[in-house]
């Protein structure tokens, strides 16, 4: 009998649920709003009802389990959410046990950025590699490390937070308590802050106009201005690339992985930040220089830095992959490692 899994992406705004088979075929995908303001129990009830309805539609297949991607810090041992800025009131709540109890099915929780990394490894940009690192440039900067096809969790599930690598020791303060984190320099929030700073300095009439005359500023509108040649907008993305390049140079030196995948909304500005990113990596990482794609580094495997392919679905596919990996490990006829 074929197996399938249910992947859930529980965000602060949307609840998305997908049924995915063991080969990665999307069987069904639904999206509903997350009514966080109605409280934790309401959201859990809605989520369990939606998962139950999805599972019932594929009852002729074996349900391997449910994987749930959640923004925040998850304690993998206890299945509790330690901290989640997007889900107020969920701190120290035993999410996994509660959902398992209601649905009587194996549930695996994962940080949403780790889920996205696993999705890109399984079916996206890193599908041909066993080891990879992903950076997700969204409201914040998330990340995930996948080694041997599985998420690298560290001691308690908190590994893979490249968004909080220090880039500027005295840079902008970060909610994590540090200053000058990558997240403060390469996220959509950072792009907006830098745009507002440019407006305050009076160096970009175009950005000021966008802020007052049009629908308002967004990372996307700042990117559009960079494309149209506005020097201040171009400088913002140059700085994004610079920060990403510094972070990646350190990660490449540390990990020597075959592929580094960059996703999230800000990755749409790829053309605007890739050059400064590569310049910085080239300058700062001797491991990258020895493995640069192209002729100069000689024969052998190369370090790939590339865009994510699955967009917003990466986290859903990755979440579904979690129980399938566990299922494969528990059955002889289960999923092959590289399906
Ligand atoms: Zn930080």
Helices (H), 64-111: 95-103
Residue 140 CA, ligand 1 centroid: distance in Å: 9
Residue 146 CA, ligand 1 centroid: distance in Å: 22
Q: For residue range 240-262, what is the model confidence (pLDDT) as tens digits? A: 999 999 999 999 999 999 999 99
Using pLDDT thresholds of 50, 70 and 90, give the confidence band for residue 330: low
Matching residue, tokens 């400088």: 235
Residue 150 CA, ligand 1 centroid: distance in Å: 25
Q: Taking all residues of the chain, what is their mean pLDDT, rounded to a whole number?
A: 91
Q: Considering only CA atoms, which of 187, 210, 186 is closest in space to residue 198?
A: 210
Return the pLDDT at 174.
Answer: 94
Q: For residue range 125-155, what is the model confidence (pLDDT) as tens digits? A: 999 999 999 999 999 999 999 999 999 999 9
Helix axes 231-255, 219-227, angle to 10 degrees: 110
In order, the DSSP letters of 145-171 are EEETTEE--TTTS----GGGSBS-TTS
3-class DSSP assignment, residue 134: strand
Return the pLDDT at 214.
Answer: 61
Residue 173 CA, ligand 1 centroid: distance in Å: 8
- Beta-carbon neighbours within 5 Å of ion ligand 1: 164, 174, 176, 178, 181
Q: Is the pLDDT of residue 336 over 60?
A: no
Query: CB of 96 within 8 A of CB of 48?
Result: no
DSSP at 66? E
Residue 71 CA, ligand 1 centroid: distance in Å: 15
Separation CA 5–CA 61 (nearest Å): 10
Separation CA 233–CA 2 (nearest Å): 51
Separation CA 226–CA 138 (nearest Å): 18
Matching residue, tokens 């949307």: 14
Q: Considering only CA atoms, which of 268, 240, 318 is closest in space to residue 20?
A: 318
Return the pLDDT at 302.
Answer: 95
3-class DSSP assignment, residue 64: strand
Residue 167 CA, ligand 1 centroid: distance in Å: 10
Distances (CA, A) of 97 to 94, 108, 197, 227: 6, 10, 46, 48
């Amino acid at each position: 009998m074929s197996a399938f899994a249910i992947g859930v992406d529980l965000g602060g705004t949307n609840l998305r649920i997908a049924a995915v088979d063991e080969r990665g075929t999307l069987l069904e995908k639904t999206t509903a709003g997350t009514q966080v303001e109605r409280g934790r129990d309401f959201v859990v009830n809605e989520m369990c009802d939606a998962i139950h309805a999805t599972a019932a539609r594929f009852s002729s297949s074996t349900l391997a389990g449910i994987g749930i991607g959640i923004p925040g810090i998850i304690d993998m041992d206890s299945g509790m959410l330690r901290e989640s800025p997007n889900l107020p009131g969920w701190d120290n709540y035993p999410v996994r046990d509660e959902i398992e109890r209601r649905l009587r099915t194996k549930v695996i929780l994962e940080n949403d950025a780790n889920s996205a990394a696993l999705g890109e490894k399984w079916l996206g940009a890193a599908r041909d590699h066993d080891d990879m690192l992903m950076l997700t440039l969204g409201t914040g900067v998330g990340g995930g490390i996948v080694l041997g096809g599985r998420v690298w969790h560290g001691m308690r599930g908190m590994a893979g937070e490249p968004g909080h690598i220090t880039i500027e020791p005295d840079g902008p303060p970060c909610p994590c308590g540090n200053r000058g984190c990558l997240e403060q320099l390469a996220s959509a929030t950072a792009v907006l802050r830098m745009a507002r700073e440019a407006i305050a300095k009076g160096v970009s009439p175009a950005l000021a106009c966008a802020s007052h005359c049009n629908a308002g500023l967004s990372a996307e509108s700042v990117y559009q201005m960079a494309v149209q040649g506005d020097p201040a907008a171009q400088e913002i993305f140059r700085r994004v690339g610079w920060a990403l390049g510094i972070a990646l140079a350190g990660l490449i030196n540390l990990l020597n992985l075959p592929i580094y995948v960059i996703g999230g909304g800000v990755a749409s500005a790829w053309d605007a930040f890739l050059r400064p990113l590569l310049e910085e990596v080239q300058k700062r990482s001797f491991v990258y220089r020895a493995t640069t794609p192209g002729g100069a580094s000689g024969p052998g495997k190369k370090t790939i830095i590339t865009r994510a392919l699955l967009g917003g679905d990466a986290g859903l596919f990755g979440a579904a992959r979690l129980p399938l990996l566990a299922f494969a490990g528990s059955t002889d006829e289960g999923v092959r490692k590289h399906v």
